[in-house]
Structure 1
C-alpha cells in the first residue's frame, strides 16, 4: 500500500495540482474504514478510491457513498458491492496459482508445504487461497501441513514459521506466503534455524523492494502486483466519471498493458484486471531502479 499511495501521488494531475488527495489509513480495520466513509460523505468529497480490508463489510460503506452521489472506484482489493463504479486491480486467484506452481515445481512435484495467509476476509486472502488450492489439487503427492493467517505481517510470519519448523522438523519442503512480507518473514525464520533458505522454496506476491532483492539472490520467487497501474488507473477511471467524456487517461498502464489485452474502454468497464509479471533475477534490477 505504500507503493500504491506513492504511485497515486505521482499521477500527472495530482502532481500539477489539478487533483487534491486526502489519504485515509484504515489500519486494517473494517469499522475504521466505514467511519472514514462517514467523514468523506460529510465533507463532500467528489470521489473515493477504496482499498477495502474486508470483502463483505466494505459493501455498506460503498452503499452509503452511492446514496450521497459520491462515486467509488475499488482498487487492489475487492468488495462485494454492485454500487462500485469499477474495480482496477489484479486477479488474485491467478497470483495464488502462479506462486503455488513455482514452489511445487521447485520441490519436484512432491513433498509438504505450508501456507501463510493474509487477513481472513480480505479479497486477497480469499482469492489467493483459492488459487493456491487450485494448484495443490493438481499435485496428489504434495501435502498441505499448515495454513494460517499471518495478517500480511513479516513479524507474524516469522513467529508462525518458527513454530511450524519446530512442530514439523525436517518435514517442510516449501513455503507459500500470500504476500511478500510474510514470505520474507518465513525466510528469516528458516535462516534462524540454521537452514539454507534455498533448500526450502518460498514464494510471495507483490514485488516489494526487499522481495526483489531476495529474488535476485535466489532465496524466493514472487510476482509483481503493479501498484503504479492499480493506483493511477483507478484515479483515471474516477476522473472519467467526474469530468465526463472529454477526459483522456493520463496513466501509462493503458499503453503499457495494451498488448496484453487491457483496454481503456472509455473508462466504463466494470473490471480492469492488470496482468501479473513474474519477477526474475533478470528483471529485479530494472524494477528496483524504477523506485529510486
Structure 2
C-alpha cells in the first residue's frame, strides 16, 4: 500500500485501520502512532518510514495512525495496537506527560515502544528512542536571531503546542541563551500551536500593538516562522532587518532561506523515521537483527548502531545555510 493511501486510510478510519491491516502477511507488524498528519514534517516522517527497505519489500507491515493532535485519541490507538498483537509501536506523542500511561501499558503487555521525534517525559519507559536534542535546537534558534541583532533589541517568541516535548525543551534552550544577553528584551511570548495561520495572526497583532517595534522573531518551528515572516512582510518591514528563525527544514522554510528571508535548522525526518523502524524491528527480533537503513554506520551512515540495544540515539541538527540549501531542496525533490 502506498504511503498516501495508507495515511489516508489511517486518518479516516483511526484505530480501525489497525484491524484492517492486520490481515496482511508480514514477518513483523509495526504501528506508528504520530501526532498529526496535517503538518509537513510529520508527513515527511511518514514518507521516510514507508521508504525503509523492509517496509518496501513487505517484511515489515507498517501502519501509520494519525493522532489528530489528541492525546486521548493516541491512547485509544495504543489499546487497539496492543489488542491486535502488533510486534512493536513507534510513538510520536502529542503531550509530553499524557503519553506516559499508554507507553507503560504497551510495555507491560510485552509490546516494545520506540520513541521518535517528540518524546514523553518518562523516557525510561521506552524500549529505546531516537530524537534530536530540542534544548540544543532552542539554543540554535535563539542564537541565530540574537547574533543577527548584535545582542540588542526587542524580540518575540512564538511557542509550539504547550505540553509537547519540543515546546518544553526548545523553550528551555531559548531561555538559556537569553540569559546571556541582557540587551535582548522579550516583549511577547505566546503559543501558536505549531500553526502557520495562528502565527501569522499572532505576529500581526503583536506588530500592531508594539507599533512595529519588534526586531526579531524566535519561532519554535518552521510553520510558525513562515507565518511570522508573512506578518513581518505584510506590515511593511524588510525581513533582512527583522530576523526570523524556525526549526524543521520544511520545504517552504528552505525556499525562504534560499531567498535570504529567514533562518532554519533541519530536523532529519529520514533518520528519525527509518532509525525508529530499525529499532522497532530489533526490539521485536532480538540480537540477530541487522539494521537496513542507510543512516547507520554499519551501512555507510554516520549514526552509530552498536548492537542496537542503546536506549537513546541522537540525530544531529543540520543548520540550513546559503551554502547547503540548494542541495537540501534537491534531496527533498528526490524523496
TM-score range (shorter-chain normalised) is: over 0.9
- Which of the residues 11, 14, 19 maps onto 2:55? 14
1:231 corresponds to which residue? 273
Could you list the per-position Cα deviations for residues 95-121 of structure 1 after superposition, in whole angstroms to 9, with x for gaps in the alignment? 100011010010111001101001000
TM-score, reference length from structure 1 = 0.97
2:15 corresponds to which residue? none
Q: Mark the runs of 5 or more structure 1 residues left unpaired by the alignment.
A: none
2:36 corresponds to which residue? none
- Which of the residues 299, 308, 318 maps onto 1:277? 318
Asked if structure 1 preserves the Cα contact closer than 8 Å seen for 2:271 and 2:295, the reply is yes
Q: Mark the runs of 5 or more structure 2 residues left unpaired by the alignment.
A: 1-41
Q: Answer with 69-78 or 194-203: which moved more.
A: 194-203
Deviation at 1:38, TM superposition (A): 1.1
Could you list the per-position Cα deviations for residues 263-291 of structure 1 after superposition, in whole angstroms to 9, with x for gaps in the alignment? 21211111111100100112111111112
Asked if structure 2 preserves the Cα contact closer than 8 Å seen for 1:7 and 1:228, the reply is yes
Asked if structure 1 preserves the Cα contact closer than 8 Å seen for 2:295 and 2:301, the reply is yes
Paired with 1:257 and 1:53, the residues of 2 have a C-alpha distance of 30
Could you list the per-position Cα deviations for residues 195-219 of structure 1 after superposition, in whole angstroms to 9, with x for gaps in the alignment? 2222200000000010000011111
Could you list the per-position Cα deviations for residues 62-86 of structure 1 after superposition, in whole angstroms to 9, with x for gaps in the alignment? 0111121100000001112322111
2:264 corresponds to which residue? 222
2:235 corresponds to which residue? 193
2:24 corresponds to which residue? none
Deviation at 1:170, TM superposition (A): 2.7
Asked if structure 1 preserves the Cα contact closer than 8 Å seen for 2:121 and 2:165, the reply is no
Could you list the per-position Cα deviations for residues 227-264 of structure 1 after superposition, in whole angstroms to 9, with x for gaps in the alignment? 00000001111111111212111112213663xxx421
TM-score, reference length from structure 2 = 0.85
1:2 corresponds to which residue? 43
Alignment of 1:45-60 (within 5 A): 45-60=86-101
Residue 290 of structure 1 aligns to a residue whose secondary structure is helix
Asked if structure 1 preserves the Cα contact closer than 8 Å seen for 2:88 and 2:283, the reply is no
Paired with 1:83 and 1:93, the residues of 2 have a C-alpha distance of 21
Residue 291 of structure 1 aligns to a residue whose secondary structure is helix
Could you list the per-position Cα deviations for residues 22-54 of structure 1 after superposition, in whole angstroms to 9, with x for gaps in the alignment? 111001111111111111112111110000011
1:140 corresponds to which residue? 182
Deviation at 1:93, TM superposition (A): 0.3
Asked if structure 2 preserves the Cα contact closer than 8 Å seen for 1:54 and 1:123, the reply is yes
What is the aligned-residue RMSD (CA, Å)?
A: 1.0
Asked if structure 2 preserves the Cα contact closer than 8 Å seen for 1:115 and 1:148, the reply is yes
How many residue pairs get aligned? The number is 289
1:208 corresponds to which residue? 250
Asked if structure 1 preserves the Cα contact closer than 8 Å seen for 2:160 and 2:220, the reply is yes
Asked if structure 2 preserves the Cα contact closer than 8 Å seen for 1:216 and 1:282, the reply is no
1:72 corresponds to which residue? 113
